[in-house]
Amino acid sequence: MSERLTRQFAFLNEADRLKSVTRANVLMDGSRPENVAEHSWHLALWALVMGAPAGVDLDRVIAMLLLHDLPEIDCGDHPIHLAHDGAAVAAAELAAARRLFGLLPADLAGRCLALWQEFEAAETPEARLAKRYDHAQPIFQVLFANKPLADHVEVVRDNLATGRAARFRTEWPEIHALASALLAGDAGAAPADLAARLAFLAEADRLKSVDRATTLVDGSRPENSGEHSWHLALYALILADHAAPGVDVARVIRMLLLHDLVEIDVGDVPIHSANGTAHGSAATQAAEARAADRIFGLLPNALRDDLRATWEEFEAAESPDALFAKSLDRVQPVLANLMSGGGTWITYAVTYDQLVSRVGSKIARGAPGVWDWVNTRAAPFFDRA
């Protein structure tokens, strides 16, 4: 089991590099280019919010979207408005997928590669739906921006007229009609239910601008809460075999996609800051509940109640699914600190006893085998300190 976890964490640490691959799109506030990891989180959230037709496995769609752009670690982004050698790009991405998934244990590598190839082929209902969201989200990233860039608006216009989004005329006519109306300056054209979902998804874009205390594994900059949420959902997908019997990992992934949305209003509250008293305090919990009221309140009523309940289940940390989700939320920063030479342990002068009480005990509740593996690697750091 130790060797299996070693390979799983090697993959998850390598996946962290996706946070440093930038895209042509910019955040809706125009502050910087979007990176591919936070884009992947936003796409998975799109799928969760927009849903799936009867007979289509939404959780499989979400899993595809968590994995779909990982080859860009090696290959980079290929904007749709620029000319590319399609065959060469496809070959390079396949080689990258084989390298990246090859870091995993063989059984898991095969499953992830097959899921990625299914997405690329776009032949199954799940893959076609995942592609639909992948092609729609960048359009609204532009059209809902505070100040859309003129050249980006033209890319959207061409995309809807003759590009890959032109198929939305028949495949997703409500979205094509709304995007076309927005291009024409008509902001009130959306059906109420669709408008509410899109308003929530646009608001969620702000999570990409919430910085955390934890850095990327290379220590180059603070991680943001959007890309952190993607990485945690990927953790759940990859470490599923370490969950307790009966844990529904698909529900865990949904929790982790949603769990930090309240930080749009509240910000990150580091677990080791202020001697650990701010994290989980009554004041913080009250602020997060108010944020949840506002943010989930943007959604249509039934979906609002469903997603709010999922978030509350995570916060309560009582169900088996929530316990595993909380374990992953605690373990990911430990790996980042180990890889970056200490990270927040140094920033906040954390002791080994504090690590065990604040972090280790939470990991062990939902994933004891994972904590055993992590502890053997974390403890020597504190022996050196």
The domain locations on the chain are 2-198, 210-384
Q: Say what the pLDDT of residue 79 is.
A: 87
Q: Say what the pLDDT of residue 329 is.
A: 98
Range name among 76-80, 200-204, 352-356 with the lowest pLDDT average: 76-80
Q: Say what the pLDDT of residue 384 is.
A: 66
Q: Say what the pLDDT of residue 108 is.
A: 98
pLDDT band at residue 84 using 50, 70 and 90 as cut-offs? confident
Tens digit of pLDDT for each residue in 18-41? 999 999 999 999 999 999 999 999
CB within 8 Å of 138: residues ≥ 6 apart: 25, 156
pLDDT band at residue 85 using 50, 70 and 90 as cut-offs? confident
Which token pair is 100?
Answer: 């990246």
Is the CB of residue 217 less than 8 Å from the CB of residue 335? yes
pLDDT band at residue 274 using 50, 70 and 90 as cut-offs? low
Range name among 41-50, 87-96, 269-278 with the lowest pLDDT average: 269-278
Which token pair is 156?
Answer: 């959207």
Q: Which CATH number fits domain 2-198: 1.10.645.10, 3.90.930.60, 3.40.50.300, 1.10.3210.10?
A: 1.10.3210.10
Q: Say what the pLDDT of residue 180 is.
A: 96
Is the pLDDT reported for residue 138 higher than 60? yes
pLDDT band at residue 342 using 50, 70 and 90 as cut-offs? very high
Enumerate the H helices of 205-300 as residue ranges. 225-238, 249-258, 263-266, 282-296
Is the CB of residue 313 less than 8 Å from the CB of residue 321? yes
As a whole number, the mean pLDDT across the chain is 95
pLDDT band at residue 80 using 50, 70 and 90 as cut-offs? confident
Question: The domain 210-384: what is its CATH number?
Answer: 1.10.3210.10
Is the pLDDT reported for residue 330 higher than 80? yes
How far is Cα 295 from Cα 183, in angstroms, rounded to an integer? Answer: 26
How far is Cα 217 from Cα 87, in angstroms, rounded to an integer? Answer: 33
Average pLDDT over residues 172-200: 93
DSSP assignment letter at 259: T
Do 210-384 and 2-198 have the same topology in CATH? yes
Tens digit of pLDDT for each residue in 106-118? 999 999 999 999 9
How far is Cα 179 from Cα 177, in angstroms, rounded to an integer? Answer: 6
Q: Say what the pLDDT of residue 83 is.
A: 82
Average pLDDT over residues 235-242: 98
pLDDT band at residue 157 using 50, 70 and 90 as cut-offs? very high
Average pLDDT over residues 269-273: 84
Is the pLDDT reported for residue 239 higher than 60? yes
Q: Say what the pLDDT of residue 278 is.
A: 63
Is the pLDDT reported for residue 178 higher than 60? yes
Beta strands in the chain (DSSP E): 22-26, 33-35, 211-215, 222-224
